[in-house]
Amino acid sequence: MIHLTLNQISAYIDAELPEASVELVRLHLSSCLECTERFGHIEEQEGALARLLVNDPGDPFFERFAERVLGPEPVEKAKPVKKPEPVKEAGPVPKAEPVKKPEPPLLVAAAEAPRDPTEPPRPRAAPAPAPKEAPRQRPAPKAAASRPKASGPVTNDGPRKAGAARILLTVAALLIVLSAAAVIAVRPRIPQLSFAPTERQVPDPGAQDARPPRVPSAPSDAVPDPSAGGSDLLERAAARSSEAERAGTAEAHDAAAAAWEEALPQLEKNADELAAGRREIASARYAAWSKDPTPERRDAAMSAVRAYLLCSPAGADRDRAWTWLAELKR
Amino acid sequence: MAESKSAASLWMDEGLESDRVRAAQRGDREAYRQLIRHYERPVYRLAYALTRNHDEATALAVETFARGLTEITRLPEGKRFFPWLLRFARNLSVTRARRRADAGAKALGAITPESPAAANSETSPVELEQRLLDALGELRPDEQMALALKVGERLSYADIATLLDHSAGVTLSRLSSARALLLTRTREGIGDLS
C-alpha cells in the first residue's frame, strides 16, 4: 500500500489541501492503520506545541513595552494612572508580574554602520541587561492576590499628580497586603489560600558555598502521620516552608519539600492549587540543591521543577522555574 | 484539521505604515513608537515561540525593535516593515541561541549531553512535552520560524510565505521537516518519515 507522505499529512492537518485531495486523504486514513497512527501522533504533537510555544503576557506588559526600546513616552501622551481594582474574595488569581526596575531604553543612539538586515546581527555593545531574578514568592490569601500592581516602580518622568496618585495607590496596596497577612496569622489554613505569590527569599545559585557534597538526610518528620488530616498536612507543609526559610539549610528545605509532597494529594482537586503545591516542592528542592548541591538533590530538584513546569500557568513563576532548570542542567 | 487565521489583522494599514516608516527614517521616534505599538504582540509571540521563555522573549523582542530602528533608513521604499523586522528576530534568535550553546558547552566542559531516548507509543503528555522541549532546539532557524508562525499565529502557508519571503511550497516543506524531526525525537519506531 502506498502511504501518505508527511507533506500530505501536514497539509491535511493545516487545512491546506485542495478539497479533492482532502477526500483522498480521508479515504486513505479510513483504511490505513499506519497512516492513521502517524496522523494521530502529529495531531497530538501539535497540541503539545500549542501549549509550549504560545504565551500571552497580558495587556499590562505591552502597555510599557515600547518604553523598553525608546524610553518613556512624552509627558503629554502619558496615560492616566488606573485606579486599583476592588479586592475580590474569590476568583482566578491574577498573574504576578515580577517587580522589576524599569530597564533603560535599549537604543538611545543608533550609531552603528548600516548593514544588510539579512546578515546575522553583530553582538550589541550594550545589550539590555537581563532582569535580575525577582525574589521568590510564597502563598498568600486571596485577598492579597488581587492587590493592585500599582506598587511597582514609580517613574520619575510623570507629572506630579500622577506621582502622588501612585504613592496613594502604593499605600493602599500595602494596607491590603498587611490586612491579608493578618488574616493568615489568625487562620493559616492552606486550603483557604490561593497561592498568590508574595515575597520570599530564594537562594542565589551563584552564591553556593564550597562545602563538600553530603548525602541528604531524610527529615525525621518526613514519614506521613496516618492520623494527620488533609488540612493538617497542608498546615505542616506551610510550617516546614517557614522553618526552611528561617533555617536556610538544605536539610530544612528537604523537609519542606517532603512535607509538600506528602500534602500534594490534598491539592489535586484544584489545578491552580496543584500547580502551587508543585511550585512549593520545586522551590524547596531547588533551594536545597542550591545550599548543598549533591547529585541526589540535583535529580530531585530537576524532577520537581519539570513536574511544576508541566502544570504551571504562564507567568513569572514559570519563567523563574525555567531558570532553575537551566541552572540545574549546567 | 486546524483552520488558519487571516494575517490581515496582523498588518498595519499599508498607507499608514508607509507614512510612519518614512517619518521614522527622518528620525521621528514617535512614529517608530507607533510601529512598535502595532507589531509588539506578534513580535513577542514569535520571540516566545523561538525561546520558550518570557524573559528571553522580552529581551529578543526589544532587541529586534531596537535593531529595526537602527536600520530603518535601510528599509527599501515600498517594502513592508513587518517581514523586514522578522528577519532581525530570526537572526538575533540565532545569535542568542549560539551564545547560550557556547555558554552551556563551557559549563559542561567536555561532557556531551546524551540525546533523549525516543518514547514509545504510550508516551504520556507530560513526557511528550518534555521531549518536544528538548527536540525543538534541534530545528533549523527557518523551520523554527515557520513552526512559530504556524502554531503561534495560526497563519496560512501563503501568509507565512509572505512574511518569510519564500514560496508556500517552501513553507510546507519546512513545516513538514520540522514535524518529522520532532516526531522522530519523541516517538519510538515511527518509521520512515521522508
The tens digit of pLDDT for each residue in B31-73 reads 999 999 999 999 999 999 999 999 999 999 999 999 999 999 9
Using DSSP, state whether A127 is helix, strand or coil.
coil
Which ipTM value was assigned to this complex?
0.85
Task: Give the pLDDT score at B43.
Answer: 96
- Chain B residues with CB inside 8 Å of A327's CB? none
Cβ neighbours for A296, distance < 8 A, ≥ 6 positions apart: A215, A216
Task: Identify whether the C-beta of residue A268 lies closer than 8 Å to the C-beta of residue A294.
Answer: no
CA-nearest residue of chain B to A56?
Answer: B45
Backbone angles phi, psi at B66, to 5 degrees: -65, -40
- Chain A residues with CB inside 8 Å of B150's CB? 14
- Chain A residues with CB inside 8 Å of B32's CB? 70
Residues A295, B61: Cα–Cα separation, whole Å? 36
pLDDT above 70 for A111: no
pLDDT above 50 for A55: yes
Residue of A35, A46, A49 to mutate, interface with B, max B Cβ within 10 Å: A49
Task: Identify whether the C-beta of residue B116 lies closer than 8 Å to the C-beta of residue B131.
Answer: yes
pLDDT above 50 for A266: yes
Task: Identify whether the C-beta of residue B146 lies closer than 8 Å to the C-beta of residue B174.
Answer: yes
Using DSSP, state whether A141 is helix, strand or coil.
strand
CA-nearest residue of chain B to A128?
Answer: B59
User: CA-based Rg of chain A, rounded to a whole angstrom?
Assistant: 25
Using the beta-carbon criterion (under 8 Å), do B4 and A15 form an inter-chain contact? Answer: yes
Q: How confident is the model at residue B169 (pLDDT cuts 50, 70, 90)?
A: very high
Using the beta-carbon criterion (under 8 Å), do B87 and A128 form an inter-chain contact? Answer: no
Burial profile B99-133: b = 16 or more Cβ within 10 angstroms, e = fewer: eeeeeeeeeeeeeeeeeeebbeeebeeebbbbbbb
Please tell me which residue, B187 or A127, carries the higher pLDDT value. Answer: B187
Q: pLDDT tens digits, residue range A217-236?
A: 333 343 344 444 667 888 88
Residues A35, B191: Cα–Cα separation, whole Å? 11
Mean pLDDT of the B9-19 span: 92
Task: Identify whether the C-beta of residue A96 lies closer than 8 Å to the C-beta of residue A315.
Answer: yes
Give the mean pLDDT of chain A: 65
Using the beta-carbon criterion (under 8 Å), do B88 and A319 form an inter-chain contact? Answer: no
Give B18 to chain A, closest Cα distance, Å. 19
Give A107 to chain B, closest Cα distance, Å. 6
pLDDT above 60 for A269: yes
Using DSSP, state whether B155 is helix, strand or coil.
strand
A20-24, A297-301, B83-87: which range is least confident on average?
A297-301
Give the mean pLDDT of chain B: 87
Task: Give the pLDDT score at A122.
Answer: 37
For chains A and B, count residue pairs whose Cβ atoms are closer than 8 Å: 180
% chain A with pLDDT above 90: 18
Task: Give the pLDDT score at A201.
Answer: 39
Task: Identify whether the C-beta of residue A150 lies closer than 8 Å to the C-beta of residue A169.
Answer: yes
- Chain B residues with CB inside 8 Å of A73's CB? 33
* Cell output for B33: 513608537
Task: Give the pLDDT score at A53.
Answer: 94
Task: Identify whether the C-beta of residue B54 lies closer than 8 Å to the C-beta of residue A55.
Answer: yes
- Chain A residues with CB inside 8 Å of B105's CB? none
Please tell me which residue, A202 or A290, carries the higher pLDDT value. Answer: A290
Mean pLDDT of the A121-145 span: 37
Mean pLDDT of the A137-152 span: 37
Task: Identify whether the C-beta of residue B50 lies closer than 8 Å to the C-beta of residue B93.
Answer: yes
Nearest to B21 by CA among B7, B10, B35: B35
Residues B85, B35: Cα–Cα separation, whole Å? 11
pLDDT above 50 for A110: no
Using the beta-carbon criterion (under 8 Å), do A16 and B172 form an inter-chain contact? Answer: yes
Using the beta-carbon criterion (under 8 Å), do B55 and A10 form an inter-chain contact? Answer: no
Task: Give strand ranges (E) for A68-110.
Answer: none
CA-nearest residue of chain B to A7?
Answer: B176
Where on the phi/psi map is residue A126: left (φ > 0), alpha (ψ -120 to 50), or beta?
beta
A19-28, A72-81, A123-132, B90-99: which range is least confident on average?
A123-132
A159-173, A275-289, B175-189: which range is least confident on average?
A159-173
Q: How confident is the model at residue A84 (pLDDT cuts 50, 70, 90)?
A: very low
Q: How confident is the model at residue A272 (pLDDT cuts 50, 70, 90)?
A: confident
Using the beta-carbon criterion (under 8 Å), do B91 and A120 form an inter-chain contact? Answer: yes
Give A10 to chain B, closest Cα distance, Å. 6
Task: Give the pLDDT score at B25.
Answer: 96
Q: How confident is the model at residue B102 (pLDDT cuts 50, 70, 90)?
A: confident
Cβ neighbours for A171, distance < 8 A, ≥ 6 positions apart: none
Cβ neighbours for A269, distance < 8 A, ≥ 6 positions apart: none
Mean pLDDT of the B112-139 span: 72
Please tell me which residue, A149 or B2, carries the higher pLDDT value. Answer: B2
Using the beta-carbon criterion (under 8 Å), do A106 and B63 form an inter-chain contact? Answer: yes
**Helix A6-13 vs helix B168-186: crossing angle, to nearest 10:** 110
Neighbour count for residue B42 (Cβ, 10 Å): 23
pLDDT above 70 for A15: yes
Residues in chain B: 194
Using the beta-carbon criterion (under 8 Å), do A55 and B125 form an inter-chain contact? Answer: no
Mean pLDDT of the A86-91 span: 40
